Amino acid sequence: DSGVTQTPKHLITATGQRVTLRCSPRSGDLSVYWYQQSLDQGLQFLIQYYNGEERAKGNILERFSAQQFPDLHSELNLSSLELGDSALYFCASSVEGAQYFGPGTRLTVL
Amino acid sequence: AQKITQTQPGMFVQEKEAVTLDCTYDTSDPSYGLFWYKQPSSGEMIFLIYQGSYDQQNATEGRYSLNFQKARKSANLVISASQLGDSAMYFCAMRAQGAQKLVFGQGTRLTINP
């Protein structure tokens, strides 16, 4: 158990819909990272927050947004969903050094 | 830009044998970190081992060791005395100093045969 929690574990929705993925980092970790894992793109960095502020941005679509709240949990919002957004979405947290990953949310867009 | 290459899509090893998973990297940054993660069929990403670019000695964590050859830009993972539970996808990743994101390779699927 990495100490990072993610909900929900599975999410099935339809094209055009909007979903919210939630992540709670390990106790004491200020940084939260979001990654997407798909069969064709592999593991891709989406975005990072540090203590409530956006710190780095990767290959995140404009339809996707994220935020980190004062209690340090983070949410990833995916809107106008397309079939190609089906993937495993990971949250990770760190203080420094290694990033510890949550169990992931498997999103299926039908 | 950083790039990780894992040239072995799949490997099959007999239980109790040692196995080496290959990883080469490309970066122009003088300072960076190299990581290995394990992803079992259940899907979670498990951190295994870390090597800093300025570390003089190869990193070890239990049965895992990292064979770091800086001049060759390789960071191979060695698993000693493999076990059935080692069957999983293994990802090599790097992060440049000052950067936030991890850059991952495509992974190697390791299967341990009894």
How is residue A81 written in tokens? 């969903």
When the pLDDT of each residue in chain B is averaged and rounded to a whole number, the result is: 95
pLDDT tens-digit map of B64-79: 999 999 999 999 999 9
Q: Are A13 and A101 in contact (CB under 8 A)?
A: no
Identity of residue B88: A
3-state secondary structure of A24: strand
> CA A101, A105, A107 angle in degrees (round to 5)?
145
B70: exposed, middle or buried (C-beta count within 10 Å: 0-12, 13-18, 19+)? exposed
pLDDT tens-digit map of B76-93: 999 999 999 999 999 999
Which residues in chain A have their CB less than 8 angstroms from residue B93's CB? 43
Q: Are A90 and B104 in contact (CB under 8 A)?
A: no
Which residues in chain B have their CB less than 8 angstroms from residue A2's CB? 44, 46-47
Instruction: Show contacts of B57-65: CB within 8 Å, 24+ apart.
Output: B64/B36
Cβ contact (<8 Å) for A106 and B37? Answer: no
Cβ contact (<8 Å) for A101 and B46? Answer: yes
Q: Nearest CA to CA, how far is A88 from chain B (Å)?
A: 8
The DSSP string of A33-45 is: EEEEEETTTEEEE
Cβ contact (<8 Å) for B100 and A42? Answer: no
A80 pLDDT tier (thresholds 50, 70, 90): very high
For residue B18, give Cα distances in angstroms to B40, B62, B82, B105. Answer: 19, 13, 6, 22
Q: What mean pLDDT is predicted for residues B88-112?
A: 93
The percentage of residues in chain A with a pLDDT greater than 70, rounded to a whole number, is 100
Radius of gyration of chain A (CA): 13
Chains A & B: contacts with CB separation below 8 Å = 51
Which residues in chain A have their CB less than 8 angstroms from residue B50's CB? 97-98
Identity of residue A85: D
Q: Are B20 and B69 in contact (CB under 8 A)?
A: no
CA nearest to B36 within chain A: A98
Q: In this model, does residue A86 exceed pLDDT 90? A: yes
Q: Nearest CA to CA, how far is A41 from chain B (Å)?
A: 9
Q: First CA to last CA across chain B, in angstroms?
A: 41
Q: In this model, does residue A5 exceed pLDDT 90? A: yes
What is the distance between the alpha carbons of residues A65 and A37, in angstroms, rounded to a whole number? 17
B6 pLDDT tier (thresholds 50, 70, 90): very high
Contacts of B38 (CB under 8 A, 6+ apart): B45, B46, B48, B86, B88, B89, B90, B91
Q: In this model, does residue A96 exceed pLDDT 80? A: no
